[in-house]
Structure 1
Amino acid sequence: MGIKLYKRSTVIKNLIFFLFFSTFYLQIVYSIHHGVSALDFVSFSRILQGMPVLLGLFAVTLITIFRAQDISKGFFIFFVAHIFYSSFSLFFLSFNKTILVLNFIFILTAFYFFLFWYLELEEAIYRPGFSNYQIGRKTEYDFNVVLESANGKTVPAVLSNWDENGCFLLPVDDLTSVNKGKCLLKINYENRDFQEPGEVVTRYGIGRGVRFYFKNKKGVDHHGWKEFYAIIRDRGFSPRLTAT
């Protein structure tokens, strides 16, 4: 059982758009090579029908990215490599400088998309930090954590993973009352209160991944996640869940 996404980030949406654009990019290169219109969708469909491997890679890459699976990084590389190989082969047939420039722009753009996707998947909301088969729900650190849903229900939990932008929570009792949607994370650490509004965007088993909003805190009498994260980072605390 993998991560279930309640809400997909802008990075995921942009990456899916890039996948569709990449297939159309191949049509643009073919149209330049053959001197026809890039809007000739009859020839576009013929090109795709003649590339079953590309269509297979496109489908698998699209599905794995949509599900935010780690293996999507490998499929994305193979997909981009296939597009680049097909388009660069046309350059060697015609030595068209326009195709060469487009290939350079395409591979550079693909590299930046891959970099954004790599960093996205490293975020705590995609990495629970625990297994569904793990026994016990206790961390090495004494963090008093409570997750409050939009309807006011509160659930005590432990932090199983965290970073600057979000965290993953494992409930002490039951987290079914806090599903997707807006929430408020409350932490009491060394008699200090920390609160941060966010949204439950992922789920793994009974755990929930929360991405924070970081709203303006003028006039509030408590600290936020950034202050809490800075404290535990400076003290060398790392996300390690231990079984009991």
Structure 2
Amino acid sequence: MVERTQPQDERWAAVDRYIGDHLLGEDVALAKALAANAAGGLPDIDVSPAQGRMLHLLARMAGARRILEIGTLGGYSTIELARALPGDGRLVTLEIDPHRADIARANIAAAGLADRCEVITGPALDSLATLKGPFAFVFIDADKESNAAYVEHAIRLSRPGTAIVVDNVIREGNVLDADSPDVRIQGTRRLFEAVAANPRLTATAVQTVGAKKWDGFLLALVTG
């Protein structure tokens, strides 16, 4: 989660609405998932609809048959990713909070995707140690302090060609603050350093603005 310190530019949200109206359309399952999340008291920190569709398309472009998600929340991004899988595909998603995991399971089932999704509850680093790869696509959107460790596990569970996407890496520009006392910012900076130092990864990061304000994604390809 990003602590929003900068004011929202209404044009950013307006453009997201334009994208949604023209390219995304109505999605009953995703709308119901957001409503269930709100009713369950979950924070409004899901990816935006446009970002969710981007993840879906990236997973399809990767030809993913197995997807790993670290950080489930209420399953909004999980649904978009699971829809990218073929009928015999499999998605594993990790969530530390049992209440959130229960809501996610219900949302995933309501979307008709329970047969291809497994929600594992518990600290992600513990769960990751038990998993076997390879996964073709990994989406990381959990506690930012552990991002570098999550990517290390993602590489272990990968194959050449695996795509890794990490959310919330710009943090309203605060990633530039080397002296920040915020452990999430320091964790994000460690992520950049670890990815830059790993010869198996080819990576970039992109800034985004929209309904979720100013943030961005790190994208990496396992090349060796």
Give the shorter-chain TM-score range.
under 0.3
* TM value normalised by structure 1: 0.24
Give the number of the structure whose residues are more often strand, by fraction. Answer: 1
* The structure with more radius of gyration: 1
